[in-house]
Amino acid sequence: MPALSAENLSYSYSCQVQPALTGVSLKLEQGTLTALLGPNGAGKSTLLNLLQGTIKPDRGEVNVDGESLIANRSQVALMPQRGKLNWNFPITVEGFVSLGRVNHSKLTCCELEAALQRVGISHLGKRRLDSLSGGQQQRALLAKTLMNPAKILLLDEPCAAFDPPARADFLLIIRQLADSGLTIFVSSHDWGTTLNAYDEVVVLDKIIVASGTPEVVHEKLSSINYMRWKL
């Protein structure tokens, strides 16, 4: 049974004539790292919000471990795009990460330290958030997301604007998290050799264009001459 599944999801924004998504179905197995690829405007962020329950589909359903998302939203955490946050807020890294505890239960120092260690920034806990590099801030945002009890992580373009070394470092972290048992779904519009770090790839352009291993997806896109998105 997949950790998360979507069946025939469709969604339209009231301000748009064309639907954002039509008939999208997918399955994410436990402990896998999956890339969600597609051009700008393909509906990637919309799909992640549907999978997390932030918005409700016009049609279709989302299930977690075979049960409705409605009763299992705590199992799915969404890490937003970095550009949507105010990184100049006067707070330490530890303070920022601790804000991820959504159920307001008491947070122990050990739990906080463990989250920082998992993303490799335990030495930066006392630093001001605005003093970090972009890559370090993104790790802090991931640590904040890990403070949720969720076992499924949805990451919205976490590697945007990263240089190749920073992207490789971040992919190594989320690869290790997936190997530890978390199910991770990562949106991006980049195609390259870094996709070899993923178990599966889903290509979205308002519908599912292709899915499978990186090799299978690349071959399929080439065979259908998919030119809207540069391979």
Q: For 190-216, how does the pLDDT look when each residue is reduced to its tens digit (9 = 90+)?
A: 777 678 889 999 999 999 999 999 989
Residue 110 has a pLDDT of: 86
Q: For 138-184, how does the pLDDT look when each residue is reduced to its tens digit (9 = 90+)?
A: 999 999 999 988 999 999 999 887 888 888 899 999 999 999 999 99
The two structure tokens encoding residue 90: 């006067």
Give me the amino acid identity at 7. Answer: E
CA separation, residue 106 to residues 93, 121, 141, 172 (Å)? 18, 22, 20, 30
Q: Residue 95: pLDDT above 70?
A: yes
Pairing verdict, β 59-64 and 4-11: antiparallel
Q: Residue 106: pLDDT above 80?
A: no
Give the residues across from 26 on adjacent strands.
6
CA separation, residue 91 to residues 37, 185, 188 (Å)? 33, 28, 29
For the chain, the structural domain boundaries read 4-83+153-223
Q: What is the pTM of this model?
A: 0.92
Question: What are the residue ranges of helices labelled H in 105-197?
Answer: 109-118, 134-146, 164-179
Domain 4-83+153-223 bears CATH identifier 3.40.50.2300:
no
The two structure tokens encoding residue 69: 């998302």
Pairing verdict, β 21-28 and 152-156: unpaired
Task: Let me know: does 82 contact 134? Beta carbons within 8 Å.
Answer: yes
Task: Let me know: does 21 contact 209? Beta carbons within 8 Å.
Answer: no
